[in-house]
Structures are given as C-alpha cells and as structure tokens.
Structure 1
C-alpha cells in the first residue's frame, strides 16, 4: 500500500492516512475525467457524488477534478472503487471539511479504503481539534508533506511506513492537564518495514509531551533535522505497553535543534543511529519509494 498526501495545509483527521496500494505501470493512462463544482458547472456538486458514480471494481484510472470551494461533507472512498485520482486546482485548493466527534472509525472527515488511490492539491480540514488519535496512519507507505497535525495523546498512531517532511506537529496537552504523546507506532517485528520518520519538521504548542510511546513491541520512530520547542519531556520517550523490552524499540533523534531537543536526560535506551542509518530512513527513495511509485503516479 502506498499513498501520497501533499500540500495539506490544515488540521488532519483521517483514518488510514489516505491508504492505497499502487500497482506500478509503465504507461499510466487516465481514462475518464469527472468535474466537481459546487455551483453546478460540472458533473456533480459534491465529492461523494463523484466517487459514488464510479463503477465498483473499476480497473482504469479516473480523475476527479474538484473546483475551488469549501465542501462541507464526509467523504468515503469504498474498497471496491480503486484507481481514483482526486485533485484540486494547484493555485486554488478546494477544501473538504467536516466537524464531528466519535471514534476513529466514524468521525474522520475523509477515509480512503480503496487500493490505487491518489489525492493531491486538496486541503482536508476539520472544524474542531482532536485530542487523541488524530491521524490513523494505519498501514502502508505514505508521504506527508507540509501538513499540520494537532493533538495531545497518540495523535499520530498506527503501523504505517511513513515519511513526514516539513510538517507542523502541534501539541495541545493544555486541554488534558498531563503529559501526552505525539506518536504511538505499532511496528510489530524486526523485519516489519513500518516506522514513522519526521524530517525537517517543527514541534510546537503546549506541553509537556513525549515524542512517543511504544504501541508495538518493535516500535520505530525517528525525528531528524526537526526543531523542537521547549515542550518535550526530559525523558522524551516511554516504553508503555513494552516496558521490559526496551531493547527491541527503535526511538531516535538526529540533528534536531531547539530547547526541546536536549538529549542529556533522554531515556538510556534511545537508539543512536549512524549517518548511514539516518539517511536510509529520511531518503524517500530508500524508505518509502524503493519501487519508484511516487514518480509513476498519474499526472
């Protein structure tokens, strides 16, 4: 599974992080185009109507172009509707937003269950702030670029294999009154490629907050080149469910800066990675794009 999430400039509240499996093709052809225009100048006035119009078990790429507007709706891409390219205008991004509460299954603004799904040039927005489990990075390979993600407890969680680049990670632990956790990575074994990598990001907001706690017994998280404001707990990490097996956990920091990046009181079991190991995780081509799927998506 792979997915691309780029140029998202607002609060993320998605289940599965726009999960998709990308089947590589030498010549990618988009066979049909659908236009969504809120003012009635396209094929449909809502994003969900456009998705619903695509036949089940579709086998050809279909482009859904969304004209600029604020679309207040929950959107679901069912598992039986693959090969969808959802795109907005490059200069005037459309906004998909909704305000709701509940669990991680029922409350997301946008859910993609289908394989072979791509979204670009779209703002996904919620009208409220999540505290716990904001972003379910459940499984598959994902690339998040210039996203803003807010929360207090495990607000980036799951077993995904994901690179977060130049993202704003915003803590809101003031609303809970005790230290929270940015990540809860569920990597389950030594050969599991999963892990969360934060490259050139900015961690801000209210504290104190831990960088992560181990949801899986081989949990893996790396913060690299990231600026951390003075909100990070001195210890930085917690073994949580895997206390006693800290040697299996891979939590690391490399070349980070800011008052929150002080390593002097970090947990003794934090991993010190070599330059080569850091590069293998922060280089998209090596960590999430070994088969070149990012370059081979439909244009």
Structure 2
C-alpha cells in the first residue's frame, strides 16, 4: 500500500505528465526589426499547436500568409507593429482557411498601393475566430476582404474609400473607428441568405471622414478627399452599404455617424428594390450624430426597436447566437 507521502508524490507526477505536454506545445518566436515575420510563421511547428510571435515594434515592409491555426501576433516592445506593403490582387495579410484562432494585438496592416485596378486588400481572411485588438487596417478600396469566417475587432481603425468592409463574414466591430477617406461605400456585405443571425455588426463605432493616410498624390478620377478635409467636399458623399449579393446583413447600433453619410444611407447597386425588399437586413438602432438621421433612408433599410437590436448589443450575445461563444476572445477586450 502507498504511504500518504508516496501517494501525494504519485499524484504530482501524474498531474505533471498531463501539464508538461500542454506547456511544451506553446511556441514563442521573436522577430526583430530587419527580419521577416513570414519566416517566423514558417518556422512554427506544423501540428497546429499554440504559438506566439512577438515582434519588435516598428515598420516591416512585407506581406504575410497565414496557413495554420492558433497564433498570437503581438509587439515585444512598446508601440505598434506596422506591416506596410504595396500589393495588388493579393493582401498584406492573407489568412487562409486553416488559419483559425488568429489574434493580433497592436498591429497596423497597411496597403499603400492607393487607387489601382483589382483588389487592394490590407487584409484578406477565410479564417474562423479572428480577433484584432488596437489594430489598424488601411487601404484605398477593398481594404478588408472578410471572405468567409468569423471575427472580432476591438478599438481598431479601418480606413478606405469604397467597399472597405466586404464579404460573407460574421464580424463584430466594437468601439472602433470607421475612417472614410473618400466618396464611396463603407460595406459591401455578401451575407448568405441562410445566415439570419450573422453579418457585419458595428457597435459603439465612430463613422468619420478622414484624409487618406496612405498617399498624397491624387490620381485621375480620384474620389478620395482632399487635404485639408473640407465639409463642402465630404458632406453627404458616402453610403453605409451596398449589396454585393442580395442577402447582405449590416447592423449599426449605438454608434456615432457623421455628416459625410448620405441621407438615403444605402444604394441598391446592381439589384432592383423589389429584389432587396425582403432579403437585405440593413438595420440601425440608437445611433447619434448628423448622419444618423434615418428619415431619408431607402425603403428597404430598417430602424429597429430595442428588442430587435438586443441580439447585437454585446459581442457575447451575438456570438452565442451563432454558436461560436466568446472563449476565443481575450476577456480583457469584451467588457
């Protein structure tokens, strides 16, 4: 029979056999200025185990592709990490479908190409459970292509002129800035018709006009705002959404909307109003600011009640209704 002391030793040894593999599974890689973030990604084990890439603050002129799950990107020093590159028909950060449970802290992702043909993505993602905290996504058009998957943006800045939130994603944008740098559309959602609970949600966001932060030279037929920013130019020049497919869902609640938003709010794009009437879900609730006046909105948008807005008033409720939960989100940023 084991003595009391031997039994305790046996339990400790058994617990250690469980804990040590878990601890050993997490890999941390350091990246210093002048070195490659992509090489750090490529050096990670191929088993999908948890990994942290700690990056020295500063500017990195590269684009990266993420093809494995469970990576946290964060600065190793005070300040922001900036990924800056001129990319056409690709993205500065491309997250492929295996790239689930990816998190970014204090990372700015900037596509400097300006106005150009084709896609000009800062971010393109197929990943489930993407989380971004205190980040920036900056481009001209098509800044963030949320192809399909799910994600959470907290205290982040997304900047562009046209369709700079687009795709099928179930995306919750919380306490963030939607920076409109020209005359276009904020969203081009392509939510599937069989997804009645998801889409793009903006809660406590700030919709504001800005001067583009990526280039100074204005190009032919350029529809970005001039510097300095002029009310005569930006007043009533932007729409909140246009339907990429005929079942988009965009919900804006408790947000501040400035006067650059057109009174009609939305545009039918390539669809008839009859096609959109019963399919789109462009909804607004309890927004403030001069652009939040819904009296001139298109007939197929909605001004919803508190009860109807309830599923969108917290990330917990939104993601729970999608059976995604919030255990993949840093609780410090859920509030």
Q: What interval of TM-score do these two structures reach, taking the shorter chain for normalisation?
A: 0.7 to 0.9
**Equivalent-residue separation in structure 2 for 1:274 and 1:152 (angstroms):** 30
- In the other structure, the counterpart of 2:40 is 50
- In the other structure, the counterpart of 2:187 is 183
- In the other structure, the counterpart of 1:200 is 204
Q: If each structure's strand is expressed as a fraction of its own residues, which one has the higher value?
A: 1
Partner-residue secondary structure (3-state), 2:316: helix
Q: CA RMSD in A?
A: 2.6
Contact 1:30-1:298 at 8 Å conserved across structures? no
After superposition, residues 142-153 of structure 1 pair within 5 angstroms as 142-153=151-162
Q: Map Cα deviations across residues 267-286 of structure 1 (whole Å, 9 max, x no partner).
A: 12212323122120232112
Contact 2:174-2:203 at 8 Å conserved across structures? yes
Contact 1:186-1:217 at 8 Å conserved across structures? yes
* Residue segments in structure 1 that go unaligned for 5+ positions in a row: 1-26, 174-178
Task: Compare CA radii of gyration and give the structure with the larger one.
Answer: 2
**Equivalent-residue separation in structure 1 for 2:328 and 2:242 (angstroms):** 35
After superposition, residues 1-299 of structure 1 pair within 5 angstroms as 31-38=25-32, 45-56=35-46, 58-78=47-67, 81-89=68-76, 92-103=78-89, 106=90, 108-113=91-96, 114-126=98-110, 128=112, 130-173=139-182, 179-205=183-209, 206-207=234-235, 208-243=237-272, 244-245=274-275, 246-289=277-320, 291=323, 293-296=325-328
**Equivalent-residue separation in structure 2 for 1:242 and 1:28 (angstroms):** 52
- TM-score, normalised with respect to structure 1: 0.77
Residue 101 of structure 1: CA displacement?
3.6
Higher relative contact order (CA 8 A, sep 6+): 1
4+ long deviations beyond 4 Å? 27-30, 289-293, 296-299
How many matched pairs? 257
Residue 94 of structure 1: CA displacement?
4.2
**Equivalent-residue separation in structure 1 for 2:178 and 2:282 (angstroms):** 17
**Equivalent-residue separation in structure 1 for 2:294 and 2:325 (angstroms):** 36
